[in-house]
A and B are shown apart, each in its own frame.
Chain A
Amino acid sequence: MSLIISLKMPSGKGSKLLRYIEHRLRVSLTDNRTIVGTFLAFDKHLNLVLVDTEEFRTLRSKKGGGSANVIEERMEKRSLGLIILRGENVVSIAVEGPPPPSGGRVVAGGPGVVKGVGRGAPPSTTAVGGAPMGMGAPMGLGAGPVHGVGGMAPPPMGGPPPGMGMPPPGMGRGF
């Protein structure tokens, strides 16, 4: 295990982050945005893949002119679902909570995957195992894009059951 990690992430930063895969993370960005989502993947740039994502922005607007310097702060919240976050904009990452129960994550899958059927091993295995195939450039491009995107969501759903959802079991299952 540690061998794989050290080959992949020479900095050692990887292993610390790997520990939090499947956890809920709160990520603050350079533009005063905060993103809260379930952490699925990252790369060396600290690009992150999050599902069930919610975005929080505080919008400040001056209210009332002249001497009355009232600044109204409005917290705006939106649901984004599955996102890729560019590492360039990441200021800090905090662990918001443990991996949510898989039922809670169904929403991010979008309209097509309402049912949490993926708890069983087979669908999960195919989904996780199938996805990395797209790594080879031609394969990735060849894969039907719409299906590809649709296919992304199931792995988290079918991922490790709550409680045992640590990286090692999940990774072991993928291969």
Chain B
Amino acid sequence: MLAYLMHRSLQMVATVFIISVIAFLVIQLPPGDFVNSYLATLSGGDQITQDAVEALRAQFGLDDNLLVQYWRWISNLLMGNFGISFQYQRTVLDLLEERLPLTLAITIPTALFVYALAVPIGIYSAVRQYSVLDYTFTFVGFIGLAIPNFLMAILLIYVNSTYFGGNVAGLFSPEYELAPWSVGRVLDMLSNLSLAILIIGLGGTAATMRVMRGMLLDELSQAYVETARAKGLPEWKLILKYPVRVAISPVLSTIGFTLPHLVSGTEITATVLNLPTTGPLLLNAVRSQDMFLAASIIFILSVLTVIGTFLSDLLLVWADPRIRL
């Protein structure tokens, strides 16, 4: 086991390094650089001479070659200095501190919501295949899969604001924006967050549910299930103890992708819902080539992916010892 851990850890470091290089290069691919984007934000009254443009490039270090720029970024990053965002004139760390807590407050409950709902429903649908409830879950599940999150967000915003008088977007309703913290304000925030959790969670729930159902159906017809049943094990205990443990493997292996998803999997939905999370921040950073901000977020995401994959591998090994061999 120890050797396995060592081996995997080394792999992780190499992967993170390669990803960091790719992340940095990809951001530089579109024509122009941050100075172009910066000039694009000026209104017509601002006048900047070519000398000033060149000096700006020098100031941001954009005229050095890519290797130098990469080295400057990564060496600072390893010391915990994420650099500054050109666009916001704030440190990247400061921006992340502003947005990460809320992001996690939305995405962690979402993830829990997805698994807590999807796994039991998946099991039920498989065991009671072709029952009325199975058809109902399948129908709802396909709708959840087929409608993109952001479209769902638009629909729910419309319904919520037209029929329930809810606010259109954002964290708080207007009456609570300036109010000090109170029970009412917390409830208001939770009601707005729950909408987000519902929308973002719906797609994930549907997918996980279908995977769980399909895998379990395969297992239920296996001989060992018959054997256990013949030995007189109670039906639900039998199902949870043997076939579910095998069938859950693919669900566990997707946990690896959940971690980065927690930080930014919801760019477009969060944009539509106007939630101040890291998603829209990343979207804007990439678009305006705010390279330290974008590269840092992408780097964090990739580290999380790698850690997530590692964790899910460990979980798999625990759930199914055959994998270690």
Task: Tell whether A and B belong to one assembly.
Answer: no
Chain A contacts to B: CB under 8 angstroms = none
Q: Which residues does B use to contact A, with CB under 8 Å?
A: none
